[in-house]
Structure formats: C-alpha cells, structure tokens
C-alpha cells in the first residue's frame, strides 16, 4: 500500500514482511516519477526555483492543473500546553503546459496562455458557467481546463 505523508512530503510504502509484521519504507524520490494512490495520480515536479514537489494531477490534456498538499506541525498556542497540533491541510495549485510549470492563483494565470481571441472564448465559457476568477471549486477548475484543452485541440494550438 502506498501512502502520501503530507507533513514530511514523502511517499510511504506499507508492506507485510515474511514474519507477518507491518513495515514502512520511504520511497526514494531519485527514481519517482508518477504513482497512483486510491485512483489519484501523483507525480514529482520541479518548480521554477528548482524545488521538488509531490503534486496531484487533476486533469489530462495539454494544460494540466496540479495541487500540492501541505500540512505543518505547530506548537499549541495555549500557554500551559506543551503539545503540538496539526494545522489544517493547505493546497497550492500549479498549471503545466508543454514547457512551463507555474503557480495558479486565479484564472488570469490561465488566460495569459492564450491569444486575445482565445481569451474571449474562455471568458465567455466562464460567464456562462458562472465562474469567478478566484473562487472556483476544483470541479469547476477541471471543467474549465477540459474546455480549454478541447478548444486547443480543435484549433490545433499549442500554449
């Protein structure tokens, strides 16, 4: 069984040895490219500042949306407590095209990949589906990217 450790940003392999004991093994990032955990695709990507991140791929096509999940262990702010607590998990979105890997903060990041004419088509789609630049759900974002990929495919364009 494969597990994704959000705190340490590691992929953990859980297996049973010959004696029947459960063992945990950290999978080396040296040869890690892509894995599937519970039907979800995760891959190792390099950011423009050369940092390695484990990201979850949310769609297929020329333009892909990825999410990088993080979680931190922080000290409890209660003065009498000596314990640590987990903060809620956070997500950072990234867009990839054939040759770019960039952070995604709003649909403006996506629109810059297109010509003026294509931007209008994408904006019209967003308006019809009542999408807002910064407050879309993951489902809406993947639907938008599927539309963009279909538009690119029909026009034989390369972002």
Tokens of 73: 């262990």
Q: What's the CA angle centered on 34, arms 29 and 40, to 5 degrees? A: 125
For the stretch 36-57, pLDDT in tens is 888 888 988 888 888 888 999 9
b/e map of 25-56 (b: 16 or more CB within 10 Å)? eeeeeeeeeebeeeeebbbbbeeeeeeebbbb
Question: 78 pLDDT exceeds 60?
Answer: yes
Q: What is the pTM of this model?
A: 0.76
Pairing of strands 40-46, 22-26: unpaired
How far apart CA 62 and CA 77 sit, in angstroms, is 45
For the stretch 100-140, pLDDT in tens is 888 888 888 888 888 888 888 888 998 998 888 777 788 88
How high is the pLDDT of residue 79? 60
Residue 147 belongs to what H/E stretch?
A: helix 138-155
């Amino acid at each position: 069984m494969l597990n994704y450790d959000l705190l340490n940003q590691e992929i953990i392999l859980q297996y049973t040895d010959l004696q029947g004991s459960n063992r945990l093994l950290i999978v080396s990032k040296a040869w890690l490219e892509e894995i599937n955990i519970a039907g979800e695709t995760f891959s190792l990507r390099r950011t423009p500042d050369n940092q390695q991140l484990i990201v979850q791929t949310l769609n297929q096509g020329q333009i892909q949306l990825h999410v990088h999940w993080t979680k931190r262990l922080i000290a409890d702010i209660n003065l009498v407590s000596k314990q640590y607590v987990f903060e809620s998990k956070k997500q950072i979105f990234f867009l990839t095209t054939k040759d770019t890997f960039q952070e995604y903060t709003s649909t403006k990041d996506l629109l810059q990949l297109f010509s003026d004419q294509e931007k209008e088509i994408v904006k019209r789609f967003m308006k019809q589906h009542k999408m807002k630049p910064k407050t879309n759900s993951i489902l809406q974002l993947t639907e938008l990217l599927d539309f963009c990929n279909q538009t690119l495919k029909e026009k034989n364009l390369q972002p």
